[in-house]
């Protein structure tokens, strides 16, 4: 085996491990698995004028549960998503170093912008610093 083969083998092992981990998640008992109870679950990290991930894909008509984790020790952030016609009227604040859970159900397929609404006096808002992301709501099949 040449030394060029080793990284590929390592990458294959990592992909295999990821597939096994995914299969294990699907076998978690009811109530803990998003796939079994229909709730779409995701953890979103907030901090440094960013959301991670900054793009969230969900399916219309299925509940979404987000766990928001503020990675900044002091600075508060928010997750704001205002599209009431689509069933999206969310504004949850998370203090520095804390986490919060929120739940919503998008009724209408489309692409929507979420953002942090925090702003210090005489400063740019967090959104103006680029702290926003995209919620993509796929039609229910």
pLDDT at res. 141: 81
- Do 57 and 24 fall within a single domain? no
- Do 19 and 83 fall within a single domain? no
Domain count, the chain: 2
Task: For residue range 112-130, list pLDDT tens digits in order.
Answer: 999 999 998 999 999 999 9
- Do 27 and 43 fall within a single domain? no
- Which residues, in sequence order, are bridge partners of residue 105? 63
- Do 63 and 126 fall within a single domain? yes
Task: For residue range 56-77, list pLDDT tens digits in order.
Answer: 999 999 999 999 999 999 999 9
3 state SS of 22: helix
Q: Are 106 and 58 in contact (CB under 8 A)?
A: yes
Supply φ then ψ for residue 22, to 5 degrees. Answer: -65, -40
- Do 24 and 57 fall within a single domain? no
- Do 5 and 64 fall within a single domain? no
- Do 114 and 66 fall within a single domain? yes
CA distances from 118 to 38, 85, 96, 132 (A): 32, 24, 12, 12
In this structure, of 23-32, 91-100, 118-127, the range with the lowest mean pLDDT score is 23-32
- Do 134 and 100 fall within a single domain? yes
Q: Are 140 and 59 in contact (CB under 8 A)?
A: yes
* Mean per-residue pLDDT, 19-44: 55
- Do 86 and 117 fall within a single domain? yes
Q: Which residues constitute the domain of residue 133? A: 38-138
- Do 31 and 81 fall within a single domain? no
- Do 48 and 15 fall within a single domain? no
pLDDT at res. 37: 78
pTM for the model stands at 0.73
- Do 18 and 76 fall within a single domain? no
CATH number at residue 76: 2.60.40.420
């Amino acid at each position: 085996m040449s030394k060029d083969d080793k990284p590929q083998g390592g990458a294959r092992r990592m992909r295999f491990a990821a597939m096994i981990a995914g299969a294990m998640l699907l076998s978690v008992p009811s109530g803990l698995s998003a796939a079994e109870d229909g709730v779409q679950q995701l953890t979103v990290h907030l901090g440094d004028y960013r959301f991670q991930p900054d793009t969230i894909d969900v399916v219309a008509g299925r509940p979404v549960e987000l766990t928001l984790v503020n990675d900044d020790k002091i600075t508060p952030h928010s997750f704001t998503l205002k599209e009431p016609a689509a069933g999206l009227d969310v504004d949850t604040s998370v203090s520095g170093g804390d986490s919060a859970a929120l739940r919503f159900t998008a009724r209408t397929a489309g692409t929507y912008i979420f953002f942090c609404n925090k702003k210090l006096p005489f400063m740019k808002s967090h959104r103006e610093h680029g702290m926003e992301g995209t919620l993509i709501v796929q039609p229910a099949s």
